[in-house]
Amino acid sequence: MKILVTGGAGFIGSHVVDTFLSAGHDVVVVDDLSTGRRENLNPKATFYQVDIRSPELTKVFGREKPDAVSHQAAKANVRESMEKPLLYADVNVLGSLNVLENCRKHGVKKVIYASTGGAVYGEPQYLPVDENHPINPLDPYGASKHHVEHYLHLYWLNYKIAYTALRYPNVYGPRQDPFGEAGVVAIFTNKMLKGEQAIINGSGEQERDFVYVGDIARANLLALDHGDNGIYNIGSGLGTNINTIFAELKQATGYKLPAVHGPAKLGEVFRIYLKADKARQELGWQPTVSLSEGLQKTVDSFRTWRQT
């Protein structure tokens, strides 16, 4: 199968590309390299440096004629979205519509969509959060990602383009940029390996659902053949607080400095973790990499990255 991966030079997208290629698929990558990196690109994939909002995207679809699209490209920084809501609507909503329109025009059979379980639900009314939980995002990022889920349904109803929406948790692992749209694991790991002060925002009692990026990539592979026209939480079902992440990474890196707390950040959910029973039953997915194992893999990869 030929699969076009948007954002395929990014942190998560590049792992998705690697997983598709390892499974024997033909992969085309579209990425504008605004946050993605050339060094993340798998040389076995065909690469186009194109913004998903650009009219040039039509030429890529016309030339490559993909069977499926894994749509990973997005602006994905909660704090930045509070400052630039128009940008997030432009890239995440209008950019996604451009992708869907090209899917319609060029006969794509299925779209796998990277949504967010960490930001669409807002502050949970109950835990763990399942897919039926009310949608009340606290930031423009979460709102923009959820908005596209409605368009996916519309394109299925009207044009029979199947979709699977995967609501990601807090994803971490190798290739996560510690300077850009970074998660706390990448930020802490980079600071600790450099011997610089890592700052915990707020009390550190905030809880997140951390899942290793390789497990996220495997969910995309499974979604090629399962879960048509469904929305799935991809999570561990467990909440881990930021103080615990700090302590685990401190041990893994040999970090010597104490924890220092700064102010809490606007627009962030305090506690969330996802119930993924539906993904286990219908996609055959569950996480396989434990938190301690995944954090060690991340630290090892950052050590290698810093030496190159």
Q: Which residues are catalytic?
A: 141
How large is the angle between the packed helices 242-253 and 291-307, nearest 10 degrees? 50
Spatial strand order of the sheet with 68-71 comes to 46-48, 26-30, 2-6, 68-71, 110-116, 162-168, 230-233
Q: 122 with 136: CB under 8 angstroms?
A: yes
- Cα distance between residue 109 and residue 31, in whole Å: 21
Q: 119 with 78: CB under 8 angstroms?
A: yes
Q: How many CA atoms lie within 13 A of 305 on its CB side?
A: 19
Q: Which residue has the tokens 């079902």?
A: 237
Q: 169 with 211: CB under 8 angstroms?
A: yes
